[in-house]
Amino acid sequence: MEMKTSNEGLSTENGEVLEELKSFGLSFDEYQRLVQLLGRVPTRAEMALIGVMWSEHCCYKSSKRELKKLPTTGKRVLVKAGEENAGVVDLGNGWAVVFKIESHNHPSAVEPFQGAATGVGGIFRDIFTMGARPVCFMNSLRFGEIRAEKTTQASHNAFLLRNVVAGIAHYGNCVGVPTVGGELAFDSSYEGNPLVNVFCLGVVRVDRIQRGKAEGIGNPVFIAGSKTGRDGLKGAAFASRKLEGHKTEDRYSVQIADPFMGRILMSACLELFQEAGVVVGIQDMGAAGLICSTSETASRAKRGMEINLDNVPVREADMLAEEILLSESQERMLLIIHKDKVDRAKAIFAKWDVPFTQIGQVIEEEKLCFYHRGKKAIELSPDLIVHQAPVYELPATEPLLTNSSFPPLEKIPQPIDYKAFLLAFAALPQNSSREWIYRQFDYLVGLHAIEEPGADAAVLRVFLGNEQVRLAATLDGNGRYCGIDPYNGAKIAVAEAIRNLSVVGALPLGITDNLNFADPKNSLVYWQFKETIRGIAEACRFFDIPVTGGNVSFYNYSKDGAILPTPVIGAVGLIETDKPIPKLSFQHPGETIVLLGGWGEGLQGSLYLQERLGITGNQLPWFHLEAEKKHNEVLRLLISEGLLSTAHDLSEGGLALALIESVGSGRKKLGCSIVFPTNRRLDELLFNEAGARTIVSVPKNKLSAVLWNCQHKGLEAVVIGEVLEDYVLRLHYGEESIELKGTEIEKSWKNGLDALLSTTEDYGGA
């Protein structure tokens, strides 16, 4: 698809100015700003470049003011959010961890396989661009309903799910980096606009951290990797507007993945980084391609570049200058090499059979000069491109409270047949096992993952020189909670991520966030965004953890309107104890099951009420930051003393789902018997989603130590049952007993997603 641009000025004839500006992604005010900054009328080529670089995806013009409210510093932070391609946190002993999350929502809606695959490829390059060797991927996925009785779009949503998962698996498996966990959720608000958020983590020696700066006058500039084509043209601008059906031209905005080139490009770069002084600066060519990488590296160094676009290896003839600059062809890297070390760099790239071509040099004057077809085609200031974009403070309107308040508990009818309801609840797409997804991933490659995916947090074995450390990583978010109350919903998302790290004994090091919202120009949406930022900031300051980076994705809509406000929190922690990590599933018959944090109360905001009665209401489950902090400290203490065999936090689905998962996920096929108090309703005990709670199983000879520690620290701990040798989940409520056989749990929970997908026709039609 060719871009219809040239070096002529903007026409004002026939009243088509606004429409023409829209084609470049510029408003009239932004056009006037550009004219003022240039001191002249811009050419169409310049408007094409600025329209993309000033897009929401590249310059964060509607979110930058709010993002500054997040805490980004800390004693371990080596590279802060926004400074480079990813944040870096110190691990000690000369090593650091690099991690980040990014979205590829719009491309995955239009071309799910390639959209997801290139999302993985982009975050992969962000991590090794920092000098780090990628250790793992995780992903947070959201789709519309896949139950045929809920929507006529079930087949299309299932098609998106299948192909997004296939794209993620394709890229991760090919580059040899394991996908070790993540999350999956469904809601009608994501229909036609899935959320595909991809996380990557790597480790690097502190003295080998790379920077994206074009320093050293006269140093040559190289492009490495794949050839440049017309795929992905204006992909950043495409991600900065609302999807409008399935336009054919949108497919040209989706990049094409080449994981095999991605793998050897990484290998060449990592080998190059081992030799000090060869690489002066490096930047991935992701969103906005060559124009973004040249302008950002030049602006960081307060230098300029002369670039000969005729030297850029291209796949297609007759590409315009702006097409070469804006192409988002994948697996490409911009490198500034020390002028005395060029031969060494060439030798390493030749060894890995990676194309490596000089396209320009660093100059003293702060300007970017692009030459094409033997003459200067474009000249712009990197400061204008990167730092002079408008920054907006948009109107935010708090919604009026509706009458959809939570009904009195006694007005809510309980299930007539608890066994049937529990099995149906376990089989819900929101609740069922994610094994169908992770069995497509090579999660054991590299031998980093200590357990298979599916636990509260992934635990990774990482070798740092002669030392072995254990890291933990998790992704968490709940759009339903944030739809009810974005401020407290965001705090809950941070708290649950930290709780999931604590369940495996990890001390949190930092978080990265992916903020998925609809149109920021809608005052309600922008209020949700601001409240979400406020909640994340407050929770992070309370837990004293920094936000090391992340991503904002606006303009996410389904056919029926805006998506739920969906912040996704990626958290990373360090496991300092050498004691065994508690498992998710029950391990030893006869062990005592203890509920840390108590039974909880209320059903407000629960998945149980939404699924059973269609009630959302305007209240969230009980939650308190102080309770979360105390719970996490005690949990880490118990693990550090080796007192727990298993641990599983309670969140969406409450105690009921946690027990089903603890029985159904185990290879040992052990069950449990649970006794409930009769002074409360059984559905409230089973399905409330109150925070700061975990179920643990404890050897009998360690039970007194667990209870003493909890009492000493002021954390409620209730003995609720024991682990059984029988493969069964038994629930006792007064005279009533409910028994779910392990085979029944496997059929409903473990095979639930498989069963749903097998009933939906695989086709891509809308």
Predicted local confidence at residue 765, as pLDDT: 46
How many whole angstroms from its chain centre is CA 489? 17
DSSP lists the bridge partners of residue 596 as 694, 717
CA atoms within 13 A on the CB side of 512: 36
Q: Which residue has better confidence, 141 or 441?
A: 141
| Same domain membership, residue 371 and residue 228 | yes
pLDDT-derived band at 10, boundaries 50, 70, 90: low
DSSP lists the bridge partners of residue 307 as 360, 370
Report residue 322 as tokens.
């702006």
Backbone angles phi, psi at 175, to 5 degrees: -85, -5
Reported as a single tens digit per residue, the pLDDT across 281-313 is: 999 998 899 999 999 999 999 999 999 999 999
Q: Percentage of residues in the chain with pLDDT exceeding 90?
A: 83
pLDDT-derived band at 560, boundaries 50, 70, 90: confident
| Same domain membership, residue 661 and residue 632 | yes
Give 583's DSSP letter: B
Predicted local confidence at residue 568, as pLDDT: 98
pLDDT of residue 3 exceeding 50, the answer is no
Residue 104 a catalytic site member: yes
Q: Identify whether 419 is part of a domain.
A: no
Total number of domains in the chain? 3
pLDDT-derived band at 405, boundaries 50, 70, 90: low
Least Cα distance to 97 among 446, 455, 497, 462 occurs for 462
pLDDT of residue 520 exceeding 70, the answer is yes
Average pLDDT, the chain: 92
Rounded CA-CA distance 580/569 in Å is 26
Predicted local confidence at residue 618, as pLDDT: 84
Q: How far is CA 696 from CA 79, 219, 400, 626, in A?
A: 37, 59, 42, 21
| Same domain membership, residue 604 and residue 535 | no
* Structural contact between residues 667 and 582, judged by C-beta atoms closer than 8 angstroms: no
Q: Identify whether 397 is part of a domain.
A: no
Rounded CA-CA distance 395/523 in Å is 5
Radius of gyration of the chain (CA): 27
pLDDT of residue 7 exceeding 50, the answer is no
| Same domain membership, residue 126 and residue 245 | no
Reported as a single tens digit per residue, the pLDDT across 594-603 is: 999 999 999 9
Dihedral-angle region of residue 96 (phi above 0 means left; psi in -120 to 50 means alpha; beta otherwise): beta
Q: Which amino acid is at 722?
A: E
* CATH number, domain with residue 568: 3.30.1330.10
pLDDT of residue 82 exceeding 80, the answer is yes
Residue that terminates a domain, selected from 558, 575, 592: 575
Predicted local confidence at residue 136, as pLDDT: 95
Q: Identify whether 64 is part of a domain.
A: no
Q: Identify whether 149 is part of a domain.
A: yes
Q: Which amino acid is at 399?
A: P
| Same domain membership, residue 78 and residue 48 | no
Reported as a single tens digit per residue, the pLDDT across 738-747 is: 999 999 999 9
| Same domain membership, residue 361 and residue 302 | yes
pLDDT of residue 563 exceeding 90, the answer is yes
Rounded CA-CA distance 286/637 in Å is 43
Residue that terminates a domain, selected from 365, 389, 413: 389
pLDDT of residue 621 exceeding 60, the answer is yes
Q: Identify whether 625 is part of a domain.
A: yes
Rounded CA-CA distance 20/758 in Å is 47
Rounded CA-CA distance 737/393 in Å is 58
Predicted local confidence at residue 242, as pLDDT: 57
b/e sequence 541-577, b meaning 16+ C-beta within 10 Å: ebbebbbbbbbbbbbbbbeeebbbbbbbbbbbbbbeb
Reported as a single tens digit per residue, the pLDDT across 142-184 is: 999 999 888 889 999 999 999 999 999 999 999 999 999 999 9
If you average pLDDT over residues 437-450, what whole number do you get? 83
Reported as a single tens digit per residue, the pLDDT across 472-481 is: 999 999 999 9
Rounded CA-CA distance 292/279 in Å is 19
pLDDT of residue 45 exceeding 80, the answer is yes
Predicted local confidence at residue 151, as pLDDT: 87
Q: How far is CA 685 from CA 183, 646, 682, 714, in A?
A: 25, 21, 5, 22
Report residue 45 as tokens.
């080529």
Give me the domain span that covers residue 24.
Answer: 17-53+211-389
Report residue 232 as tokens.
């992905």
Q: Which residue has better confidence, 707 or 192?
A: 707
Predicted local confidence at residue 253, as pLDDT: 61
| Same domain membership, residue 284 and residue 326 | yes
Rounded CA-CA distance 199/181 in Å is 10
Q: Percentage of residues in the chain with pLDDT exceeding 70?
A: 93
- The CB density around residue 75, as the number of other CB atoms within 10 Å, is 8
Least Cα distance to 9 among 41, 33, 31, 50 occurs for 41
Rounded CA-CA distance 693/651 in Å is 8
Q: Identify whether 541 is part of a domain.
A: yes
pLDDT of residue 444 exceeding 60, the answer is yes
* Four-CA torsion 619, 485, 396, 50, nearest 10 degrees: -160
Least Cα distance to 112 among 165, 174, 178, 179 occurs for 165
| Same domain membership, residue 603 and residue 733 | yes
* Structural contact between residues 202 and 79, judged by C-beta atoms closer than 8 angstroms: no
DSSP lists the bridge partners of residue 319 as none
| Same domain membership, residue 536 and residue 444 | yes
If you average pLDDT over residues 94-111, what whole number do you get? 95
Least Cα distance to 740 among 730, 750, 732, 748 occurs for 730
| Same domain membership, residue 518 and residue 597 | no
Predicted local confidence at residue 446, as pLDDT: 72
Report residue 648 as tokens.
């599983």
265: three-class secondary structure by DSSP: helix
Q: Identify whether 190 is part of a domain.
A: yes
Q: Which residue has better confidence, 8 or 18?
A: 18
pLDDT of residue 248 exceeding 60, the answer is no
| Same domain membership, residue 128 and residue 99 | yes
Q: Identify whether 402 is part of a domain.
A: no
Report residue 448 as tokens.
């980093």
Rounded CA-CA distance 511/493 in Å is 11
pLDDT of residue 763 exceeding 70, the answer is no
Predicted local confidence at residue 407, as pLDDT: 75
pLDDT of residue 2 exceeding 80, the answer is no
The most confident of the ranges 228-232, 457-461, 555-559 is 457-461
| Same domain membership, residue 610 and residue 497 | no
If you average pLDDT over residues 64-81, what whole number do you get? 95
Predicted local confidence at residue 243, as pLDDT: 58
Least Cα distance to 19 among 34, 2, 4 occurs for 4
Rounded CA-CA distance 460/464 in Å is 12
If you average pLDDT over residues 425-451, what whole number do you get? 89
* CATH number, domain with residue 366: 3.90.650.10
Predicted local confidence at residue 1, as pLDDT: 39
Residue 631 a catalytic site member: no
Residue that terminates a domain, selected from 575, 597, 613: 575
What is the largest distance, in Å, between two alpha-carbon atoms of the chain? 89
Predicted local confidence at residue 447, as pLDDT: 67
